[in-house]
Amino acid sequence: MKKILIVFVALFIINFGCKKIDENNGGGICACSPTKYPDLTLVVKNAAGDDLLNSVVTGAYTKDQIQLFSKNASGVVKQISFYLRPPFYYGNSKFKYNQLYSEEIVALSKVSGNTLYLKLGSAEPLELNLTVGNFKVEKLLIDKKEAAVDNATLSAYLTVFYLTL
């Protein structure tokens, strides 16, 4: 009987000891499992539809020519990590554009007083405003204009926004 009682007490302690509060869901999740934050996937193209993140396209931007950053009310600038993701296949569907991808940007967009910026080459920075809900970016405003969203077959799996220069 003591062994059964010890096992139940151990399971009880492990169950509550492994929980952490997830403010987004309002419930507990296992502290051992990672949480997935919403991400931002952005395609940059010109008016002709050419991929401006593809190095073979004239006028394309390299990772070194792109800055993604936040600036708070005090003017303190914080660089936001991102990478350029190449085109990919998902089943029989191909997504033909390179994408600017960042998970960190969504967390920083929630901090009050922060404004997010995207600087491409020597151009003036573009102001980014995100609307996040249901663990995904639902709307992206670039310089106060709503960015187009990809409505193709992959939209069920991935939300992709388009910036047309």
Specify the CATH number for the domain of residue 54. Answer: 2.60.40
Average pLDDT, the chain: 81
Number of domains present in the structure of the chain: 2
pLDDT tens digits for range 133-148: 777 888 899 999 999 9
- Is a pLDDT exceeding 90 seen at residue 156? no
Report the pLDDT averaged over residues 80-103.
Answer: 89
**Do residues 107 and 70 share a domain?**
yes
Q: What's the confidence (pLDDT) of residue 22?
A: 47
Residue-wise burial string across 129-148, b where 16 or more C-beta atoms lie within 10 A, e elsewhere: ebebeeeebeebebeeeebe
Residue 11's domain comprises 1-34
Percentage of the chain exceeding pLDDT 70: 79
**Do residues 90 and 11 share a domain?**
no
**Do residues 25 and 58 share a domain?**
no
**Do residues 70 and 7 share a domain?**
no
| Three-state SS letters, the chain | CHHHHHHHHHHHHHHHHCEEEECCCCEEEECCCCCCCCCEEEEEECCCCCECCCCCCCCCCCHHHEEEEEECCCCCEEECCCEEECCEEECCEEECCCEEEECHHHHHHCCCCCEEEEEECCCCCEEEEEEEECCEEEEEEECCEECEECCCHHHHCCCCEEEEC
pLDDT tens digits for range 52-80: 999 999 999 999 999 999 887 788 888 99
**Do residues 46 and 28 share a domain?**
no
Q: What's the confidence (pLDDT) of residue 148?
A: 92
pTM: 0.74
**Highest-confidence range of 21-30, 79-88, 111-120, 127-136, by mean pLDDT?**
79-88
**Do residues 68 and 142 share a domain?**
yes
